[in-house]
Amino acid sequence: MRNITFTQAIRETLAQELRNDESVFLLGEDIGVYGGAFGVTRGLIDEFGPERIRNTPISEQAITGIAIGAAVAGLRPVMEIMFMDFITLAVDQMVNLAAKLHPIYGQKCPMVLRTPPGAGRGYGATHSQSLERLFLGTPGIKVVAPSNALDASALLQASIRDDNPVIFLEHKLLYPLRFEMPDELPPPQPIGFAKRVTEGDDITIVAWSYMTILARRAAAELANDGYSVEVIDLCSLSPLDMDTVLESITHTGRAIVVEEGPLTGGFSAEIAARIAEGAQDYLEAPVRRITSPDLPFPASKPLELTLIPSVADIKAAVKEMCE
């Protein structure tokens, strides 16, 4: 076993897939010599050259169009959007073209869109959003949101090898975190399955991406106070593994869904609704959501931290629901 960062796991996985399949190439802004805004692709151009590590102009629309065209032509592009906020410029082509190619025309579109969502670094309102909600109602697009290095590597391999478009979320607060990993990268992990990362009897917390880290920390601290908390890491948002979620809640009888995005219109509301429909006979309390408020994130870090869901928020909600 070795101890590596989330960033290193993504970089090693990209390198492995580039070596294993000549149809794989990367494209995005500053991903070459500079190595990307968060250093994920640093050094890859030295091994694979500018033909396969392609710097692009500052145009998310162009990057997306090129990736879709390359995928249709038989390549496997992995595009990077520097901040998830800029994904709004890719929505049209992803929703109205990439997502529709297979269901309408039977055409494969094997492309991955990598992007970092999330706040916590004081980047302000236009560089801190979690916008997965924009795609989760669009059939034909898979959305993956790992919370640790092992799952990130396994799910990224599966995403690159998938024959349809995948949006791969790498929360920017995960990049510097360190995780235990085997010396060899794990095998691909099928997309669409959640994981029970802690077991408990009193309450279930459902989370994804960096919110899973907070949920696990809260569960560990609550255990010292006598609360038994089960944490479900969704891993994949589309397809969504509700079977694992409902199985947990029928056991615990209580559920909290944690989402970093704002309250109104969030994906946590969809999950809560499905829990209410699928486990209503087992619920001992209404489903609770913990989200950010309906406000833009400020650039001031102290103010920003008052908006983002925290370990303290999760602990308080668990105690209130259980007591």
User: How sure is the predictor about 190, in pLDDT bands with cuts at 50, 70 and 90?
Assistant: very high
Give mean pLDDT, residues 97-120: 97
Length of the chain: 323
* Confidence at residue 244, expressed as pLDDT on a 0 to 100 scale: 98
Q: Which amino acid is at 169?
A: L
For domain 2-181, give the fold: Rossmann fold (3.40.50)
User: How sure is the predictor about 144, in pLDDT bands with cuts at 50, 70 and 90?
Assistant: very high
Is the backbone peptide bond immediately before 139 cis, with ω within 30 degrees of 0? no
Q: Which amino acid is at 14?
A: L
* Confidence at residue 64, expressed as pLDDT on a 0 to 100 scale: 98
Going from N- to C-terminal start, the domains of the chain cover: 2-181, 195-322
Rounded percentage of the chain residues whose pLDDT exceeds 90: 99
2-181 and 195-322: identical CATH topology: yes
* Confidence at residue 303, expressed as pLDDT on a 0 to 100 scale: 96
Helix (H) or strand (E) holding 244: helix 242-252
Residues 149, 4: contact at Cβ < 8 Å? yes
* Confidence at residue 18, expressed as pLDDT on a 0 to 100 scale: 98
* Confidence at residue 56, expressed as pLDDT on a 0 to 100 scale: 97
* Confidence at residue 35, expressed as pLDDT on a 0 to 100 scale: 97
Q: What is the pLDDT of residues 255-275, one digit of tens each?
A: 999 999 999 999 999 999 999
Give burial (CB, 10 Å; 0-12/13-18/19+) of 106: exposed
Q: Which amino acid is at 213?
A: I
Rounded percentage of the chain residues whose pLDDT exceeds 70: 100
Q: How far apart are CA 214 and CA 312, in angstroms?
A: 9
User: How sure is the predictor about 286, in pLDDT bands with cuts at 50, 70 and 90?
Assistant: very high
User: How sure is the predictor about 93, in pLDDT bands with cuts at 50, 70 and 90?
Assistant: very high
Q: How far apart are CA 88 and CA 84, in angstroms?
A: 8
Q: How far apart are CA 196 and CA 205, in angstroms?
A: 10
Q: Which residues are catalytic?
A: 60, 127
* Confidence at residue 305, expressed as pLDDT on a 0 to 100 scale: 95
User: How sure is the predictor about 230, in pLDDT bands with cuts at 50, 70 and 90?
Assistant: very high
* Confidence at residue 43, expressed as pLDDT on a 0 to 100 scale: 97
Residue 280 burial (CB count, 10 A): 8
> What is the layout of strands, in order, in the sheet containing 255-262?
195-198, 229-233, 203-207, 255-262, 288-292
The CATH code for residues 195-322 is 3.40.50.920
Give mean pLDDT, residues 203-231: 98
Rounded CA Rg of the chain: 19
